[in-house]
Amino acid sequence: MAAPPPRVLTIAGSDSGGCSGAPADLRTFAAYGVHGLCALTAVTAQSAAEVRAVEPLGPDLVRQQLETAEEIGIEAIKIGMLADAATVEVVASWLERLPPTPAVLDPVLRSTSGTALLDAEAIPMLVERLLPQLLLVTPNLFEAEALSGETITGLEEARNAARRIERMGPSVLVTGGHGYPAAASRSNGGTAGGGGEVTDLLFDGNRFEAFVHPRIRTRWRRGTGCTLSAAVAAGLGWHLPLQEAVRRAVAFVERALRGSYPLGRSGGHGTLDPMAGRRGRR
């Protein structure tokens, strides 16, 4: 009998369009060769272009999903959309009781189309109860501003935001895919929003490591943040050191973006492909 692969749990919302959230996480886990478990926090109705409805599942059902996942066994955790304060409390309380397990948070505050995916009143609880229990948090520039209170116009401000967030508990990966304002970015030595490179900054409390990679020119990039954090968690499930897990995850997302494809009748929206390079294999 073959030994089971690492078991990695995603705690996230659904995406009926299959582009982000738990579906993107599970595709990423499959590409990494780990066994994916899921605890859904909310059901969403999403087209290729927008979020039309969000319905939290309720804290009791979330708790039961976490407890049954624990019975199966978990070697790493990815956390995404938490929807409301009650869900944040359930997840934080469960983590407190769980044996030490590396956990990565993608702090999903709003969708790509601008729909709020976490209640404003839940953010202080996320900072106070959840962040101290995590190994890594992976905010984009908007999320890093919201968590740190720092206005980010370039790499220096991104470093300051990372320092503030790291003091809350976890290591920090500030992702630069959304780009900095062009003028401010040039003055700070960063990459402008329309530049040819993207810089993701990892800070572990001791040093920064910059992951610089080409900006992939595609309109079809939904699920990028979900896929990146899920890839880091999958790498941790394979017992990679954090820096190596992040390095491989950044390269994984680059491949997924190169394999992105359109969805929807208009063809104007789409998603990256975590299975890029693997599709069609027997």
Here the CATH number for the domain that contains residue 243 is 3.40.1190.20
pLDDT of 178: 57
Residue 277: inside a domain: no
Residue 145: inside a domain: yes
CB 271 within 8 Å of CB 263: yes
CB 16 within 8 Å of CB 45: yes
Q: In which residue ranges of the chain is pLDDT below 70?
A: 111-117, 177-195, 218-220, 266-268, 277-282
CB 207 within 8 Å of CB 166: no
**Radius of gyration, CA atoms only, the chain:** 18
Q: SS3 of 247, please?
A: helix
How far apart are alpha carbons 34 and 237 in whole angstroms? Answer: 8
Residue 31: inside a domain: yes
Residue 2: inside a domain: no
Q: Each residue of 98-121: pLDDT tens digit?
A: 999 999 999 988 766 666 667 778
Residue 263 CA neighbour count, 13 Å, CB half: 19
pLDDT of 226: 93
Residue 281: inside a domain: no
Residue 278: inside a domain: no
**What is the total count of domains within the chain?**
1
| Tokens matching residue 216 | 């992939």
Helix, strand, coil % in the chain, rounded to nearest 5: 40, 20, 40
pTM over 0.85, yes/no: yes
Give the structural domain span for 169.
7-271
Residue 150: inside a domain: yes
How far apart are alpha carbons 223 and 184 in whole angstroms? Answer: 27
DSSP 192: B
78 bridge partner residues: 10, 104
**H runs (alpha helix) in 98-211:** 122-125, 141-148, 155-166, 182-187
| Tokens matching residue 251 | 């390269």
pLDDT of 46: 84
Residue 233: inside a domain: yes
Which H or E run includes 79? strand 76-79
Please report the sign of the dihedral spanned by the C-alpha atoms of residue 161, residue 164, residue 165, residue 171: positive
